[in-house]
Amino acid sequence: MVNPGDHEDLAHTLIPLGLAVGLVRSKVYAERKLTGQGYRGDLNVLASFVAGTVPIYEYATDPSRAPRALRRSELEGGLFRDGGKELSFIDGRATKRFLAVNALDVECVTSLLREPERAPQIRSRFVRLRAQKLRARAASLKNQAAALRRESMRLRDGFSCAEALEG
């Protein structure tokens, strides 16, 4: 599995925030009302909870640009609208519309809402899982770096031999 920081595959593990909060609402609350603001209001409230609980990513419509995790300061003062699909600001900052969360984090949020009394254990479990994934990714990157070093040395030695033959 992929984890944040793995820019090659991160985009494939992200779920648009509007869809994610709909999934969380469906899994945890089914048809029950959360607020007096209707379905979209419920999703906006859940988006705020999600943003305070797990990393939120901003992605671009250009697939060559990697998604990036938003800092808390970038979320502060924002108000989720349109069912959690956008984050608007009254201080004049541009509205953020391309927001997403990691699929694993959707499961974490769902678990936290279903069993709030077990929040420390749930958090711990997901942090350990993320750490395992980071270790696996680090090992993979280390192996890739070693392979690139070997290839560069092979190419350098090949060029040295070619220069000697020409000289």
Quick: pLDDT tens for 88-137.
999 999 999 999 999 889 999 999 999 989 888 888 888 888 888 888 88
**What average pLDDT does range 5-10 have in this prediction?**
51
Q: Looking at residue 2, what is its pLDDT? A: 39
Q: What is the 3-state secondary structure (H, E, C) of 144-165?
A: HHHHHHHHHHHHHHHHHHHHHH
CA distance 19 to 98: 12
Q: Is the pLDDT of residue 11 over 70?
A: no
Q: Looking at residue 9, what is its pLDDT? A: 62
User: Contact, 28 vs 115, CB < 8 A?
Assistant: no
CA distance 79 to 41: 11
Quick: pLDDT tens for 32-56.
877 778 889 999 999 999 999 999 9
Domain boundaries, the chain: 10-118
∠ CA 80-86-91, rounded to 5°: 65
Considering the entire predicted model, what is its pTM? 0.72
| Band of residue 162 on the pLDDT scale cut at 50, 70, 90 | low
Any idea which of 5-9, 50-54, 64-68 has the lowest mean pLDDT? Answer: 5-9
CA distance 25 to 31: 8
The CA-to-CA distance between both ends of the chain, in Å, stands at: 51
